[in-house]
Amino acid sequence: MLFGTFFLAGIPVNLYAQKDSVKVGLVLSGGGAKGMAHLGVLKVLEEEHIRPCCLSGTSIGAIVGAYYAAGYSSDQILEIFRRTDFDELMLDHLPRRFLPLYLKQAGRNEFFYFPLDMHHMTLRLPDGLSHSQLFYNQLFEDLYAIQYVRHFDSLPLRVRFVATDLVRGRQVVFRGGSIPRAVVASSAIPSIVSPLQIDGKLLSDGGIVNNYPLEPLRKMGANVVIGSDVQGTLLKASEIQSIADILDQIMSIHMYADMPLKRMKTDIYLRPPVTNFNVTDFSQIDTLYRLGYEEADRHRSFFRRYASYEKQALHSPPPHPDSLYFRDIRIEGISDPREKELILWRTGFETGRKIGFRDFINGINYLYGTDDYDQIHYWIIPGDTLVMSLVNDTVRYKFKTAVHYSPLYHLELLAGVTGKRIITGHDILDVELILGPSFRYNLNYLIDNGYHMGFGLHSSWHHWQRNVAFGLMFPEVENPSFKQMDLHTYTWTNRLFFQGIASTNVNFHIGFEHRKNIMNTGIFSGEKPGLKYYFDRTDNYGAFISFFYDDLNDYYFPEYGIRLTADYHHFFASNNTYDKPNPFHTASFHITASRLHNRHLSSSYSFTAHLVTRDSISPSSYTYVGGIAAFEHSGVLQSFYSRPFMDLRTPSYIYIKPQLQYRFRKNHFFRAGLQFLMYEYFEIPHEKRFSRYEWAYNFYGQYGFRSYFGPIFATFAWEPVTKKWNMGLELGFGF
């Protein structure tokens, strides 16, 4: 046997004489997005007909290594990564259609949430921005052929993946089991991905303790090691300028301390020049790939020494099946039989029945969308047995906040608390206080029993103030001395209801409600400014039924899907101070349907109908039309862009809005459309209604931007008939 050490540009290469004894191992380091350079290295190895016998990887190295072990070529992996939205994966941005209806309202799932310790009344930062559930789903789909392997040594390319045990401070090497689970644990970037609970251990990114896992290769028998290192370097003194820099340097000192020794033990050490790239910037995939390719290309002469030994053709992995069949379903981590029953109902999984592969992944997403579980890991073992390993969400209470500006409410701050498992194992409490020029609150409590009948209560107080035309409230007065009045509107709503759920996107409520309406102004107080003139001060009691369907892909910028709401209210008792009490009914119907025509262009159609059946109308029974707002219809308000808020009032109306939406860049939208309104007109209030309808329409253009702090809208509208125009700006999530 011939032993020698040759050096090229300071890189050692060990050659072993016996050709049949050469075993090439490949180590892929961690480095986040910089790991795209690994693919360039793999491409050169493929061109030189080198197929390693074993591979070890950490973090992004584990991700690339898992795909390579499944049989994907470097070109195929590159194409998969090109079409992957890593921002969505890193943030675990679950598509909206998988969320329960109570989270879909006004984009409430996108508020800022912080864990809340109710015992000490303190807030703490979350342990991560994501739980990597969507990433797990993608790995299960792409790596289905090897999604579960009892022993990784049984694979054509033997692999090892490294994670960090945060409690014991040591590395954990995965040698068998669920490959998606091992990869997700190895790549759980601290502060971005929450630590994972696996087999009684709390695991995080393997790079914390071993970002260049050379040792597992030697234990697998590799005597020639090729290493691709995309790690960073220690910062220079001039680069350490903040606390974040110091913390990063402290972390790096430990990570890179043993690299000189590991580099010496690596036979062919590749160091693509990617130090200056950001670990979370996946927009430079092709550039990073090229740098990795160029670095490996400089060492072809060394690779060729092993080409004749490790020739092995790459075979693309078989695609996942169109459907799955389970003889048994095991749910680990859950002991309550009723909860297991709910899990199977939410996912749609059954034994002895086929389920489409896409329906299977959707079922997992529906379950994750409940926000009841931090982890939903799953794999299929021999015997057609599905194993689901669930970890309950340990954070029972969360503090939420958001900021919003609109021409109606001006600048407001939302502060709220959500809680789970307050009384039962499946209840949800949500309290919101809205602080600004007009105080508001929302309180919701729901016992969610899945397909069994649920129970809930709702209470809200809404107040808004607006300078309106005197003629809005007194159309019969000619040439009034007052042109404007300061109108205050208060609505206090309380409901008790039963809830039925047909699916995540469909439910209905039936129950009783109390609604108190107050409308007043101080304009007539004269020398006594503390006095108020009341237009309405009414308590109404009744029953209602509501139906909801919502599978729009986005609340503010929908591109496909349908949202439908319908409700009927029968008020059978009232202390109406406006005129004699009498029963009355209200009915509303709203639908928004959106369709995606291509990657950038979508269209939507909105239709709203509102009807009040009452001979005489109190002011609180009207809908007040006008204003630029993200909502179509909210309470007694109906948006109409070309008019100011509360420009006209009507008891019954039909509203139609066709719209085109063009996404010209990611998160940037332009809209153009038409608003049409046919409304019931009145001349003298308090008298018996008569049928007379008028109409109005406008054209509008709108720019929208989806920001991390909520949507931003800038709108301009023009009404041809009246020559009126209006423009406005709205910022943040609505509430």
Q: How far apart are the first and last CA of the chain?
A: 76
**Range in 88-102, 563-577, 606-620 with the lowest mean pLDDT:** 606-620
> Residues with Cβ < 8 Å from 677, sequence gap 6 or more?
625, 638, 640, 653, 654, 655, 656, 695, 696, 697
Whether residue 333 sits in one domain with residue 270 = no
| pLDDT at residue number 505 | 86
Q: Is residue 470 domain-shared with residue 348, that is, in the same domain?
A: no
Same domain membership, residue 367 and residue 298: no
276, 306, 336 - which closes a domain: 306
Residue 183 confidence (pLDDT) above 90: yes
- Report the pLDDT value the prediction gives residue 477, as an integer from 0 to 100: 57
Residue 104 belongs to a domain: no
Q: How confident is the model at residue 528 (pLDDT cuts 50, 70, 90)?
A: low
pLDDT for 9 beyond 70: no
- Band (pLDDT 50/70/90 cuts) for residue 11 is very low
Q: Are 243 and 354 found together in one domain? A: no
Q: State mean pLDDT over 553-568.
A: 93
Domain match, 363 and 242 both? no
Say what the pLDDT of residue 127 is: 80
Worst-scoring range by mean pLDDT, 15-24, 436-445, 589-598, 709-718? 15-24
pLDDT range class, residue 481, cuts 50, 70, 90: low
Q: Is residue 55 part of a domain?
A: yes
Can you give the pLDDT at residue 480? 62
Q: What mean pLDDT is predicted for residues 701-729?
A: 92
Which of 1-5, 113-117, 691-695 bottoms out in mean pLDDT, i.e. has the lowest?
A: 1-5
What is the arithmetic mean of pLDDT over 36-61?
92
pLDDT in tens, 123-153: 777 888 889 999 999 999 999 999 999 999 9
| Mean pLDDT (whole number) for 603-622 | 80
Q: Which of 205-219, 596-610, 645-659 has the lowest mean pLDDT?
A: 645-659
pTM of the model: 0.85
Can you tell me the mean pLDDT for 431-453? Answer: 89
Residue 471 resides in a domain: yes
Mean pLDDT of 416-442: 89
Cα 555 to Cα 105: distance, rounded to the nearest angstrom: 8
70 and 143 in contact (C-beta within 8 Å)? Answer: yes
Q: Where are the alpha helices (DSSP H) in 314-402?
A: 337-347, 357-369
118, part of any domain: no
Longest dimension (CA), the chain: 112
Q: What is the 3-state secondary structure (H, E, C) of 158-201?
A: EEEEEEEECCCCEEEEECCEEHHHHHHHHCCCCCCECCEEECCE
Can you tell me the mean pLDDT for 159-174? 94
Same domain for 173 and 219, yes or no, is yes
pLDDT over 70 (residue 292): yes
pLDDT at 422 over 90: no
* Lowest-confidence segment of 56-65, 96-105, 507-516 by average pLDDT: 96-105
Q: Are residues 223 and 350 in the same domain?
A: no
Q: Is 318 helix (H, G, I), strand (E, B) or coil?
A: coil
Choice among 67-71, 86-90, 376-380 with the minimum mean pLDDT = 86-90
Residue 621 inside a domain? The answer is: yes
CA distance 363 to 348: 6
What pLDDT band is residue 1 in, cutting at 50, 70 and 90? very low
Euclidean distance between CA atoms 71 and 84, whole angstroms: 19
Report the domain count for the chain: 3
CA dist 154 → 323, 350, 543 (Å):
26, 31, 65
Note the pLDDT of residue 577.
59
Answer yes or no: do 258 and 338 share one domain.
no
Q: Domain end: 306, 340, 375, which one?
A: 306
Residue in the block written with tokens 């008939």: 721
Domain termination residue (choose one: 341, 357, 392): 392
Residue 103 within any structural domain of the chain: no
pLDDT at 50 exceeding the cut of 80: yes
Residue 549 is predicted with a pLDDT of: 93
The residue among 48 and 668 whose pLDDT is bigger is 668
Residue 686 covered by a domain: yes
DSSP 8-state code for residue 320? P
- Are both 366 and 295 inside the same structural domain? no
Average pLDDT over residues 308-331: 78
Q: How far apart are CA 735 and CA 732, in angstroms?
A: 9
How confident is the model over 651-676, as a mean pLDDT? 94
CATH of the domain at 185: 3.40.1090.10
Q: Are residues 566 and 711 in the same domain?
A: yes
Q: Encode pLDDT of 446-456 as tens digits.
A: 998 877 888 99
CATH number at 374 reads 3.10.20.310
Give the C-alpha separation, 89 to 97, whole Å: 17
Q: Is the pLDDT of residue 250 over 70?
A: yes
Residue 441 lies in a domain: no
pLDDT of residue 453: 85
Residues 215 and 271 in one domain: yes
Looking at residue 702, what is its pLDDT?
96
Residue 664 reports pLDDT greater than 90? yes
Read off φ and ψ for residue 9, nearest 5 degrees: 55, 35
Q: Count of CB atoms within 10 A of residue 361's CB?
A: 16
Question: What is the C-alpha to C-alpha distance for residues 55 and 303, in angstroms, rounded to an integer?
Answer: 16
> Tokens 């590159």 correspond to what residue?
78
Average pLDDT of the segment spanning 507-531: 77
Assign 3 a pLDDT band (cuts: 50, 70, 90). very low
Per-residue confidence (pLDDT) for residue 13, from 0 to 100: 42
**Average pLDDT of the chain?**
85
pLDDT greater than 60 at residue 689: no
pLDDT exceeds cutoff 50 at 617: yes
Q: What is the pLDDT of residue 118?
A: 66
CATH number at residue 585: 2.40.160.50
248 plus 345 within the same structural domain: no
Range of the domain at 197: 3-92+129-306
Q: pLDDT tens-digit profile of 342-368?
A: 899 999 999 999 999 999 999 999 999
H/E stretch holding 86 reads helix 86-91
